[in-house]
Amino acid sequence: MKKNYATLVMAGLFLMNLPAQAQEANYDESNVGTYTLPDALTSLNGQQVIKKKTWEKIRRPEILKLFQDNEYGILPNAKIKTNYRIIEESDNALEGKAIRRQVEITFSGNNQTRKMLVLLYMPKGVKKCPVFVAPNFQGNATTTIDPAVIESQFSTYERAHQTSRWSYDRIINSGYAVATFHYYDIYFDANGKLAETIYPLFGITSDDDLQDNTGKAITAWAWGCSRVLDYLLTLKNIDKKRTIVMGHSRLGKTSLWCGAQDQRFAMVISNNSGCSGAALSRRNYGETVPRINKSFPWWFCNKYQSYNQNVPSLPMDQHELLALIAPRPVYVASAQEDRWADPRGEFLSLQEASKVYALYGYDTLQGYSFPAPNEHLWKGNCGYHMRTGVHDVTDFDWQSYIEFADRHLK
Ligand code: GCU
């Protein structure tokens, strides 16, 4: 009896200590529930969109606004001055194959300044190179063993701590440039840190200054990616027509939101972005909208919280975020063991979004079934794979992105 009681107590303590996601998430396909997705090709007044002109003039702006008003939010208008300063440069990086440049971008507005540090590698001898813009989680110096890389101001990690996620050799050998920055330079990934982010530049210094539709971290990080692109577009050897925004996980949500808004990006990649990224919100599988809003209230606009009790009342779903990228190439990648991010929900979302690509004459993913692990499903301008393994960015992922970009960006 005593032993049973002790076992029960132990079990209870174990459950209490489990992460909330493990206790609450559904991983049973038969419990996903039924749902009806909003139709990306029916405008708010009921009109069917059959021409790309109607998509671009009416439906696309409607959907963009739905995401601005209800999920990610927008930034207030503000006059922000930007200054670029090259603080380090070498034409003998990565075993002599690359030019390395480290650029400090200073933003000023509202009597405040903020700085971001960009690490840029460019392949030597390429006159016009395509470029990946990809924010990093732990600081620029954690992405490489290159000792000349300057540590990012808010990084708390050891140098070279996350090199496995950055296939710099492959990227450079394939003729691509890559630009990265520590996402903390733009917005701390924590609650209650608003004053230390870029927000004071916009006249926002506390949560009280936020409207229902003021964007927070995801919108800010997306803004950061666009500012890196501003800089890259000043360089002669960067190909303006082949710029790619790529992000992993919360930064995959960011790359999608960035690419949806900033149409200068010619291709968009979501790596394991999951809930409120590529995955459909209406599927009850893995992370859900109420769950993400509870854990990460600083990522989305305040209005998003109002859907916690009634996800189907969201006036849009994530396939429409992917559709905003049309007709530009979009790549959604999942990982088999990353059930929290709902790989199938990511695939179904892209499949549904591909209908919009059909307006531009592209093949769609309609009629294709969920591909086997590590199989590429590339149709029209939509790319998908579910890699074996866990939530991560691997060389397989980078190899896929480069091959897809080689084929689709001209
Ligand atoms: C958490 C979060 C996800 C997010 C991920 C990440 O797991 O719940 O939504 O994508 O962190 O950014 O690594």
Is residue 369 very low, low, confident or very high in pLDDT (cuts 50, 70, 90)? very high
Report, as an integer, the average pLDDT of 173-189.
98
- Residue of 312, 281, 308, 278 whose CA lies nearest to 293: 308
**Quick one: pLDDT at residue 322?**
99
Out of 43, 152, 155, 249, pick the active-site residue: 249
Q: How far apart are CA 75 and CA 100, in angstroms?
A: 32
Ligand 1 pocket test, candidate residues 71, 249, 254, 276, most atoms within 8 A of CB: 249
The model's pTM is 0.95
**Burial grade of 313 (CB within 10 A; 0-12, 13-18, 19 or more):** exposed
Q: Render pLDDT for 10-60 as a digit per residue (tens, 0 to 9).
A: 444 444 444 445 558 999 999 999 999 999 999 999 999 999 999 999 999
Q: Is residue 274 in contact with ligand 1, taking CB distance under 6 Å?
A: yes
Q: How far apart are CA 72 and CA 185, in angstroms?
A: 19
Q: Render pLDDT for 139-178 as a digit per residue (tens, 0 to 9).
A: 999 999 999 999 999 999 999 999 999 999 999 999 999 9
Q: Is residue 141 in contact with ligand 1, taking CB distance under 6 Å?
A: no
Out of 90, 161, 226, 391, pick the active-site residue: 391
Domains and CATH numbers, the chain: 32-409 (3.40.50.1820)
Q: How far apart are CA 159 and CA 149, in angstroms?
A: 9
Ligand 1 pocket test, candidate residues 272, 289, 340, 392, most atoms within 8 A of CB: 340
Q: Render pLDDT for 94-124 as a digit per residue (tens, 0 to 9).
A: 999 999 999 999 999 999 999 999 999 999 9
| Index of the ligand 1 atom closest to the CA of residue 251 | 12
What is the average pLDDT value for the chain, to the nearest integer?
95
* Contact yes or no for 289/311 (Cβ under 8 A): yes
Using DSSP's 3-state secondary structure scheme, residue 50 falls into coil
Taken in order 54, 60, 61, 62, the sign of the CA dihedral is positive
Report, as an integer, the average pLDDT of 294-317.
98
Catalytic annotation on 391? yes
Is residue 228 very low, low, confident or very high in pLDDT (cuts 50, 70, 90)? very high
- Tell me how far the alpha carbon of residue 294 lies from the centroid of ligand 1, in angstroms: 12
Catalytic annotation on 249? yes
Token code pair at residue 13: 């303590």
Token code pair at residue 207: 């949560």
**Quick one: pLDDT at residue 24?**
80
Ligand 1: residue whose CA is nearest its atom 8: 292
Q: Is residue 200 in contact with ligand 1, taking CB distance under 6 Å?
A: no
**Quick one: pLDDT at residue 7?**
45
